[in-house]
Amino acid sequence: MEITASTVYTPEVMIKFLKFNMFKGRFYKIKPYIYCVLVTVFIIISIIYQLFLGFQAFMTAAAIILTIACIIQIFAFLIYPKLKAKQFNTNNLSKNSYIFDENKDFFEFYNSEHDTKNNIKIKYQDLFRIFETKGSIYIYLNQISAFIIDKSQLQKDTITSITHILKVKTSKENKKYIICFS
């Protein structure tokens, strides 16, 4: 059975991907907030130490360094993806389409208009990892490059069929299909 899925690479889709890509599923939504909480706790502890124990120089320097680290982390997680996504022109959005077939050992990828001679065939065994989140499926070719399938642009039965095919075809390799619902 052949299943076709298409994703329009909107700035919102790219922002979600860039945020996810920073941590690749490992606490990708809560990690920056953990840093901020730790920095806040450390600043409070350093103020208490300064007032009562007199470790002023060391604790002040440590608090400043951790505050700068927190600001850099917030920039990397919240501001950088939005700046990067603005590079995509909303008038000329890229549309990628994928053809999944349960009877084949590969899936096909094509950009914009369907032209069978320009399809790129990618074997399931050559994939690096597949991450499934609540809103997207990220099919990584290597550690950096990935295809994005936006679930909000597809019907529920199509999503179920695609995830089933990907799980079956990549189940032979250890930990290739990772579910990250957070």
What span, in angstroms and rounded, lies between the C-alpha atoms of 22 and 28?
7
* Spans in the chain with pLDDT lower than 50: 182
Q: How many CB atoms lie within 10 A of CB 27?
A: 12
pLDDT of 164 reads 85
pLDDT of 29 reads 56
Is residue 120 classed as helix, strand or coil in its secondary structure?
A: strand
What span, in angstroms and rounded, lies between the C-alpha atoms of 111 and 109?
7
